[in-house]
Amino acid sequence: MALIEVQNLKKSFGDNEVLKNITFTVEKNDVIAIIGPSGSGKSTMLRSLIHLEEINGGTVKIAGEAFVEQGVYKRPDVIKKATAKMGMVFQQFNLFPHLTVKDNLELAPKMAGKKADIAAMTSDLLQKVGLSAKEKAYPKSLSGGQQQRVAIARALMMNPEILLFDEPTSALDPELTGEVLKVMKDLAEEHMTMIVVTHEMGFARSVANKVVFMDGGEIVEAGTPDELFGNPQHERTKAFLAKNLK
């Protein structure tokens, strides 16, 4: 069974149709890179999966359970149960500035009343992202790359089955993207299911097992990195890659 199934997803902002009939599936352990020009609808599509955007038509199933079917949303508890299977990492990190790194990680599991040893998880995850020494630091005192690594650890605290990344390195100075991509690569190697909207072609090519090219609110082409980068079928894909692969 596919972990995520999206059928005929449609989304408009007023008269502006930003997603036209998007259909795709995500299998367990997939690492999917979504690429495409700005304004192609990549981020909106990703945000729709976790209910940060309301779609106007289509179905989204998470682990076989639809939280929106033919454009009609289910009850809030059904939506919450489905979206709780996913974690999300934002372009702007969106850490809570008034909380320390440790409290950023621990707030959500504590609020959810998790029984697990939260403190132990915190220290494991901070070690994993290489920030054990920053437990008591506030986000403001961290570099962008460090903040994004904290954000990844924070998302992992809720034990998501799927992690969504919305241009996780686009707000970073070029010399800081590497440390974040490294953490993401480690997660991929541990078989975390991931969907990554990105402009990092190198990452898409070397870490993803599937690359989706979107343009004008549609999926133009999808395939393995070798197929998409090595032998693109569509003119639009070719034009985009010609501009973005240097």
Partner 1 sequence: MADYWSSVILPMLEGAQMTLLLFFIAIIVSVPLGFLLTLAVNSKIKLFSWLATIYITIMRGTPLLLQLLIICFGLPMIPGIGEYLTIDRFAAACLGFILNYAAYFAEIFRGGLLSIDKGQYEAAKVLGLTKSQTTRKIILPQMFRVALPSVANESITLIKDTALLYAVAVPELLHFAETAVNRDFSIVPYFIAGAIYLIMTIILTIFFKWLERRFKYE
- Give residues in contact with partner 1 (CB under 8 A): 50-52, 80, 83-84, 86-88, 90, 92, 94-98, 107-108, 111-112, 138-141, 154-155, 158
CB of 166 to partner 1, least distance (A): 10
Q: In sequence order, what are the beta bridge partners of 218? A: 215
Gyration radius of the chain's alpha carbons: 18
CA 192, 197, 203, 209: dihedral to nearest 10 degrees? 50
Given the complex with partner 1, which of 141 and 206 has the nearer CB atom?
Answer: 141
Least distance in angstroms from the C-beta of 31 to partner 1: 19
Q: Alpha-carbon distance 42 to 153, whole Å?
A: 23
Name the residue nearer to partner 1 (CB basis): 34 or 86.
86
According to DSSP, the β-strands at 218-223 and 162-166 are unpaired
CB neighbours of residue 219 within 10 Å: 22
Give least dist CB 92 to partner 1, A: 5
Region of residue 165 (left: phi > 0; alpha: psi -120 to 50; beta: else):
beta
- Write out the two tokens for 41: 């609808």
Is 53 or 218 the residue whose CB approaches partner 1 more closely?
Answer: 53
Return the number of the residue (62 or 155) whose C-beta is nearest partner 1.
155
- Closest approach, Cβ 65 to partner 1, in A, equals 16
- Least distance from C-beta 97 to partner 1, angstroms? 6
Nearer to partner 1, 34 or 219 (CB): 34
18 or 50, CB closer to partner 1?
50
Q: How far is the CB of 223 from partner 1 (least distance, A)?
A: 29
Nearest to 139 by CA among 149, 125, 128: 149
Instruction: Give me the sheet containing 210-215, strands edge to edge.
Output: 86-89, 162-166, 193-197, 31-35, 210-215, 218-223
